[in-house]
């Protein structure tokens, strides 16, 4: 009796093609993961080649998210490693200035949101979550001291060559006839102003007009 086992060959061919396709997709996703981590590490001022080194890539990832790279050893703990991985992705989103929505994208759509974080120029590394201040030079960086401008002997480096404006010009007495008054727009510019002439004087005794600087009335002789 003859039996045909051709269906077994067809099944093996189908299984082979499925395995080949799965392998190709796995290699493609692995390459995408390595390239994405390369750019992410560079954004965090870490060596990009760390993405292709086994175990060291986890060390760098935990370093930029937790602040301690050796914490990646927690991934060796069964069941707890799942919780640690989720927390790491949340911290990774916060380390690049993203919120809970982006963190959920990293958790559920990892191979989509990780390349977005890697290749987007608008997403930059802001620091370890909870310790962002130490990456902000000049403000809260450790060891930075605000200069004391009130300290005796302190010299402002930006004040070299600066000259204080001149003191306001004090006008001379009005009886000198004219004086110079500084301009409101330019303190170094002065303009002449003439004092208004005084009106005629009259004698208190006879009412005669007095001209000149005389001490007695020329009409009645009364002292002025």
When the pLDDT of each residue in the chain is averaged and rounded to a whole number, the result is: 76
Domain boundaries defined on the chain:
8-135
Q: Which residues of 169-204 are buried (b: 16+ CB within 10 A; e: fewer)?
A: eeeeeeeeeebeebeeeeeeeeeeeeeeeeeeeebe
Distance (Å) of CA 26 to CA 32, 33, 61, 84: 10, 10, 21, 24
pLDDT along the chain (224 residues), means of 10: 52 64 87 96 95 95 95 94 96 94 95 95 92 47 49 56 55 48 54 54 77 75 74
pLDDT in the model for residue 4: 52
Q: What are phi and psi of 131, to 5 degrees?
A: -135, 30
Model-level pTM greater than 0.75? no
């Amino acid at each position: 009796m003859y039996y045909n086992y051709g269906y077994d060959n067809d099944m093996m061919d189908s299984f082979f093609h499925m395995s080949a396709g799965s392998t190709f997709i796995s290699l493609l996703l692995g390459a995408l993961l390595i390239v994405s981590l390369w750019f992410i590490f560079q954004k965090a001022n870490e060596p990009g080649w760390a993405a292709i080194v086994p175990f060291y890539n986890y060390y760098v990832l935990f370093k930029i998210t937790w602040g301690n790279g050796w914490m990646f050893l927690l991934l060796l703990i069964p069941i707890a490693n799942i919780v640690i991985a989720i927390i790491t992705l949340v911290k990774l989103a916060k380390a690049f200035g993203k919120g809970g929505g982006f963190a959920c994208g990293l958790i559920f759509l990892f191979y989509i949101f990780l390349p977005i974080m890697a290749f987007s120029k608008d997403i930059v590394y802001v620091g370890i979550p909870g310790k962002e201040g130490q990456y902000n030079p000049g403000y809260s960086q450790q060891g930075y001291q605000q200069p004391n401008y009130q300290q005796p002997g302190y010299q402002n480096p930006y004040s070299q060559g600066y000259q204080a404006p001149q003191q306001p010009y004090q006008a001379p007495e009005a009886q000198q006839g004219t004086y110079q008054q500084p301009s409101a727009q330019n303190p170094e510019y002065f303009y002449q102003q003439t004092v208004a002439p005084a009106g005629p004087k009259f004698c208190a005794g006879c009412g005669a007009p007095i001209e000149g600087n005389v001490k007695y009335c020329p009409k009645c002789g009364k002292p002025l």
